[in-house]
Amino acid sequence: MVGRLQKLNNHHSFFLFGARGTGKSTLVKDFYSGSNTLWIDLLKSEDEERFGRRPDELSKVLSQKKYEKVVIDEIQKSPKLLDIVHLEIERNKNIQFVMTGSSARKLKRGHANLLAGRAFTYYLYPLTFFELEDEFDLNNVLEFGSLPYLLELNSDEDKNEFLRSYVRTYIKEEIQVEQIVRKLNPFRDFLEIAAQSNGEIINYSTIAKQVAVDDKTIKNYFSILEDTLIAYLLPPFHRSIRKRQREAPKFYLFDTGIKRSLEGTLRVKLQPKTFAYGKSFEHLIIAECHRLNEYNKLDYKFSYLRTKDGAEIDLVVQRPGQSDLLIEIKSTDMVQDHHVKNLNVFFSDWDKKAEAELWSLDPIEKKIGNVSCLPWNVGMKKLMDI
């Protein structure tokens, strides 16, 4: 089993959220395999019938036998069960409750009892470069992503079929069964268009016209992707929160393979030195930063910056107690002066203390003007203090 960077607490109750297939159940089972644990899997019909539809049953079970831990898998299937968890946490301080979920939507929208600080919140993502270590293959991850189950598959065809199945399961179990949207066909069309828009600034009106729905519906669809944890937004940089909210964010799916599956390009091989390869490389780097910031609890704030004339910085990192870091991401294997032109201009005009770095596939470290040019994995280790 691949060692995970997300460290769980062995005493305090917590939520562990993550998209399906990220390894939540595996991580929890490995962590608590030797303890006196009550396991409740709400995806199993018998557990859903017993505890999901009759939440009070949990109190009855705990009154009959002493458990050290209670693990509830897919807690979003029964939000009312959280009221009983809250009661039992207050009643018995010696029991640790662990609740996993692949969607926060039903919990948030249904005003579920999120235990008011009585439970920590953790997130789990696809495998990172640092977790895969010697098994990390850049081209493979760019094409297929890094969901843990992929490690068990050898052929490209099997990996493609897994990714197709993942998307079908997501639509069926997360969207259709939970009745998140009334009409599935517009949402299916939206998913393909959203995947094609990965890494771009969201234009709600344009996408609405393509899907033949209104802007409000498209905004709701994007919130569904966030709430079901298969996507996140990268906000525009501005020191004024009000001005930042007037500008549209960029959109990223949580995994490079899922992005290719949703847009229907799994059979198209990614070729180095192409536009598609460069976009996938940028996607991976930003996803890695997102994951590692959470795991290492660094509290970095990420954003992008684009000027009216189109000049752009891929990633602005605001680091508590440190200078801002401006990062440009390039898939080139030989960094040249023109690659850092924008960064040098932005750096010179920055209104606070800052550093500028270009991360690429070039194995040679160099300095061009004010920009430190680093191999991407070196830059990542430096940023994340690994």
Residues 90, 134 within the same domain: no
**Is 6 contained in some domain?**
no
Residues 116, 145 within the same domain: no
Contacts with 200 (C-beta within 8 Å, 6 or more apart), sequence order: 250, 251
| DSSP 8-class letter at 2 | P
Beta partners for residue 324, in sequence order = 354
Please, are residues 250 and 234 in contact by the beta-carbon 8 Å criterion? yes
Give the CATH number for residue 378: 3.40.1350
Residues 59, 176 within the same domain: no
Decide: helix, strand or coil at residue 198: coil
Give the residue ranges of the chain where pLDDT is below 70: 1, 106, 108-117, 176-179, 239-246
Instruction: Give the model's pLDDT for residue 113.
Output: 56
Residues 134, 119 within the same domain: no
Residues 84, 138 within the same domain: no
Residues 140, 216 within the same domain: yes
Instruction: Give the model's pLDDT for residue 173.
Output: 73
Distance (Å, whole) CA 127 – CA 149:
10
Distance (Å, whole) CA 332 – CA 330:
5
Place of tokens 């998913």: 191
Give the CATH number for residue 20: 3.40.50.300
Residues 272, 376 within the same domain: no
Q: Counting every residue, how long is the chain? A: 386
Residues 272, 238 within the same domain: yes
Compute φ and ψ for 271, nearest 5 degrees: -110, 130
**Is 156 contained in some domain?**
yes
Show the tokens assigned to 18: 């993550």
Contacts with 246 (C-beta within 8 Å, 6 or more apart), sequence order: none
- Cα-based distances in Å from 385 to 123, 177, 234, 281, 296: 20, 42, 22, 21, 9
Residues 268, 376 within the same domain: no
Total of domains in the chain:
3
Residues 55, 165 within the same domain: no
Range of the domain at 66: 14-123
Instruction: Give the model's pLDDT for residue 352.
Output: 81
Instruction: Give the model's pLDDT for residue 111.
Output: 47
Single residue among 123, 143, 167 that ends a domain in this structure: 123
Helix boundaries (H) for 247-274 = 256-263
Residues 141, 80 within the same domain: no
Beta partners for residue 251, in sequence order = 233
Residues 271, 344 within the same domain: no
Amino acid found at 367: K
